[in-house]
Structure 1
Amino acid sequence: MTDFVIAGPRHALPPQLSLLRRIYLPRTADAGAFAMSTYGIPLIVLATTQSATLTGIAFALEWLPRLAAFSLAGQVVDRHGTKRVFRIASVLRALVVVAAAFILPTQAGGTGATITVMALAAITGVVTEFSYIAAETAGATASKDAGDRAHRVQSVLLGIDQTATLAGPAFAGFLLHAVGVTGTLLTMAACSLLGALLAPWHRESRLVPPPAPALAGLRTGWKTLVSIPALAWLITGLTVSNMATGVLQAAAPVIVVQHLGQSSAAVGLIWSAAAAASLLAVALCRFAIDRLGLWPAGAASAAVAALAGLAVSQAGDYTSFLVLTAVLMAGEGGMTVVLRTLRSHLIPEPVFGATLAVTILAMLTPFPLAGIVVALTPAAALGHVLTACAGLQAAGLACAFWRLRREPAMRSPRTTQPGAATTP
């Protein structure tokens, strides 16, 4: 039997803060820093090195360290609590970005500047995942407390993320043009520090597992995931789907600039439009779950994503490419609401961080693979690769939701707690 210890004063009564103060405001600041770093750092790499190849490598460097950090991040959150991990990760990200802001002006291009921006991409990728896992775990706890209204909490959280994604590409591009690399990096650092300041400062009183090797968190998360069939099937379908989404994201600059003859600003417009469509889909999915349940809402979102994925690979002009990409991401947004609602109910709280890390690790693994595929594919053949990935996406989502149609947890907004549902 696993022993547990109490974190925080035994008789301490933490202040009763609203969801806005303890969850939504810190998440908003962190999402802003996340979006600006994800979309802004590749632009900074391009502006610093003037190399499309190095920009692609930076994309991989952002994702690979994130994947490596997931299992450790989940275990650290379970052990030390969401607030402490969130605050430390936010401060570390700010320090790294500020350091790069002062180092880069002293390097007039060349190898030194290249090493600096590549290290910036890798390090911010790692610390960002710690803050993300902490924020997701805190949001899931709030969802559990909300009971039948859990999907409403998750809709707000996803709306915050999508709003940041909507503003992030355009704002990062504007800052880079208006105030340069240093001003852009200092703005990213300010968002990170704001998130650290907004996080509640009272200590958490909770049960936590004793220290264990890093791989133990990965094993714990994996065992929990496979013990929850509904969640495992949904993660499988979304992982397959993310391969198509990742290839589309990695290939979009080449397709838009080289094939469709548009500017690099047009690439940012696509993702801003996609984020706006996702926001609308999140709102619609919330009402659909209220009235129809998780499975109908998720299946409809999956159908939209699959059909749009097949169509976007055949788009012959910029407008069609933009609209179809937005529709695809709208479908992804709807499925994400379903996923977040399901996992917030079904994953036991003591191992939520470790299990969340495993689910995100599985779902994000296709992104660096997609970057490698795009790097190895001739530009003229990218359309064929997109078509193949879209077919795989449609097949994966169809299999997953066909299997999920009989899962009790998918039939209504209220799902069963895992202790009652999965224990023999």
Structure 2
Amino acid sequence: MRSGPGPAHDRRAVSGLLRGIYLPRSADAGALAMATYGIPLLVLATTGSAALTGLAFVLEWIPRLVAFALAGTMVDRYGTTVVFRLASAARALVALAAALVLPAQTHGSGATVTVMVLAASTGTLTQFSYIAAETAGAAASREAGESAHRVQSVLLGIDQVATLAGPALAGLLLQWTGAAGMLAALACFSLLGAALAPKQPPQPPPAGPLPVVRGLRTGWATLRSLPALAWLVTGLTVSNLAVGLLQAAAPVIVVTELGHSSADVGLVWSAAAVTSLLAVALCRTAIGRYGLWPVGAVSALIAASACLAVATAHSYTTYLTMIAVLMAGEGGMTVVLRTLRSRLIPPEKFAGTLSLTILLLLLPFPLAGLLVAVTPPRLLGHVITGCAVIQAVGLATAFARLRVQPAVRAASS
């Protein structure tokens, strides 16, 4: 007679996670990676302008930020399945429409308008599917109990595999098949996500208007009641100004300043994903052995040191290496964030609070795009150095505060 779950139960649990969480997350992560890293490359290839590339980054991120509050409220009201499926299908339609329109607009303002609208619309729709996928993943983490960090490590690993393949695939497709090939691949990932939408219990139909503002207020009140999570989000928000700047500036630095191809831009982020995957694998074991704070603090030190070194990189190899080390540190901190978030936020307030935390984390990205748009390419190194210093100070302050938080010690035990 068994006193607990046996191998058959474990196999069913793994199978349920694979079909209900991991597969739809994989499809959505592939679409997200191609949109995030491929569209700025598409803008640079279409317009040839560093300023417009930075502006496209802004247009890609501002609608995402606006969409977060509504996305969290819709997930709370309608459920993850409906929101995920509709957002993925709409993104596929947008990508296919752009793939048909762009080849006929090789010159003039029509192509510029098309890629800018594409950046804004895919950015918005991606956040609806992302919030739905994150909410489903958090529910799976809560069900996993003490193994929550393992579920979150798998989810982060899926994201990093997508980041490994997505930028390289986008760059190669753009170089060899043009915009149509890259956008067709983005549409395929989106359609696959719509077909595999995570299966969650249906929600009752809404009785009134969506309380978006109330959802934000609830999320803000919840975040303020969790100082450990609030300090971690604050530190990562400051850090993301440097990360966003490097992401927005990558096409300009690699193509314009270092003289490499769009495929080489994708290779930078693919190499970064490899090191991030290794970091996630190490953190998965290290958190169980050493706790959340030591793993997060070491990851923060690695990220800040690498970001300071990026500004001095004068060759493609050095630049690629430093970006890879930086993203390894970011990967470790993200595991800590996701584990703490899934353990501390009450289930009934999760989607709204998740939306607020991600909104705060991504606020620096439009600012980073503006910095790239207004900074001459030859001066980007100085701006990166300044942002790296701000990142180091922000992370040091946040983790100093986190060290004395009881919630961090409890989550580490």
| TM-score, normalised by the number of residues in structure 2 | 0.92
Q: Distance in 1 between matches of 2:188 and 2:24?
A: 13
Distance in 2 (CA, whole Å) between partners of 1:327 and 1:148 is 29
Aligned residue identity for 1:24: Y
- Matched residues in 1 for 2:348 and 2:56: separation? 35
Q: Is the 8 A contact 2:50 2:373 kept in 1?
A: no
**Match 2:98 to one of 94, 97, 100:** 100
- Contiguous gaps of at least 5 residues in structure 1: 1-14, 416-424
Q: Is the Cα–Cα contact under 8 Å of residues 294 and 412 in structure 1 kept in the other structure?
A: no
2:56 maps to 58
Select the structure that is richer in helix.
Answer: 2
Task: Give, as a single letter, the amino acid of the residue that structure 2 aligns with 1:360.
Answer: I
Query: 355-364 or 205-214: which moved more?
Result: 205-214
The residue aligned with 2:403 is: 405
1:278 is matched with 276
Q: Equivalents in 2 of 1:135, 1:227: separation in Å? A: 25
> Which residue number in structure 2 is paired with residue 420 of structure 1?
none
Give the match's secondary structure for 1:115.
helix
Residues 1:394 and 2:392 aligned together: yes
Give the alignment partner of residue 367 of structure 2, picking from 366, 369, 372.
Answer: 369
Shift of 1:266: 2.6
Q: Which residue, 72, 75, 78 being the options, matches 2:73?
A: 75
Q: CA deviation at 1:351?
A: 1.5
- The alpha-carbon deviation at position 208 of structure 1 amounts to 9.0
Aligned to 2:186: 188
Matched letter for residue 193 of structure 2: G
Q: What amino acid sits opposite 1:349 in the alignment?
A: P
Inter-partner Cα distance in structure 1 for 2:410 and 2:244: 31
Q: CA deviation at 1:414?
A: 5.6
How many Å apart are 1:86 and its aligned residue?
Answer: 0.4
Q: Which amino acid aligns with 1:156?
A: V
Contact 2:272–2:324, Cα closer than 8 Å, also in 1: yes
**Structure 2 partner of 1:12:** none
The aligned amino acid for 1:365 is: L
Q: CA deviation at 1:100?
A: 1.6
Change (3 A) 1:65 1:299: same
Q: CA deviation at 1:210?
A: 6.7
SS at match of 2:343: helix
The residue that corresponds to 1:160 in the other structure is 158
- Range moving further from structure 2, 35-44 or 105-114: 105-114
* CA–CA distance in structure 2, aligned partners of residues 37 and 391 of structure 1: 29
2:173 aligned to 172, 175, 178, which one? 175
Taking structure 1 as the reference length, what is the TM-score of the superposition? 0.89
Deviates more, 1:251-260 or 1:309-318: 251-260
Equivalence for 1:9: none
Alignment of 1:192-207 (within 5 A): 192-200=190-198, 203-204=201-202
User: What is the number of equivalent residue pairs in this alignment?
Assistant: 401
Give the SS at the match of 1:411.
helix
1:180 CA drift (Å)? 2.6
- In the alignment, residue 66 of structure 1 is paired with which amino acid? R
State the alpha-carbon separation in 2 of the partners of residues 95 and 156 from structure 1.
29
| 2:125 partner letter | V
Amino acid at match of 1:320: T
Q: What is residue 120 of structure 1 aligned with on the other side?
A: 118
Displacement of 1:257: 3.6
1: distance between equivalents of 2:207 and 2:144?
A: 25
Distance 2:66 2:136 in 1: 22
1:293 CA drift (Å): 0.7
Partner in structure 2 of residue 216 of structure 1: 214
Residues 51-109 of structure 1, C-alpha deviations (whole Å, 9 max, x = no match): 33322221111111101111111111111111111011011111111122222234343
2:314 alignment partner, SS class: coil
Distance 1:181 1:377, change over 3 A: closer
1:32 positional shift:
0.6
Provide the rounded CA distance (Å) in 2 between the counterparts of 1:135 and 1:18: 15
Q: Name the amino acid aligned to 1:25.
A: L
Q: Deviations over 1:296-355 (max 9, x none)?
A: 111111111111112222223322222111111100000000000000111111121111
Once structures 1 and 2 are overlaid, which stretch shifts more, 393-402 or 34-43? Answer: 34-43
- Kindly provide the CA deviation profile for residues 348-371 of structure 1, in whole angstroms up to 9, marking residues without a partner as x: 111211111111111111111011
Give the CA RMSD over aligned residues. Answer: 2.1
* Equivalent-residue separation in structure 2 for 1:392 and 1:297 (angstroms): 21
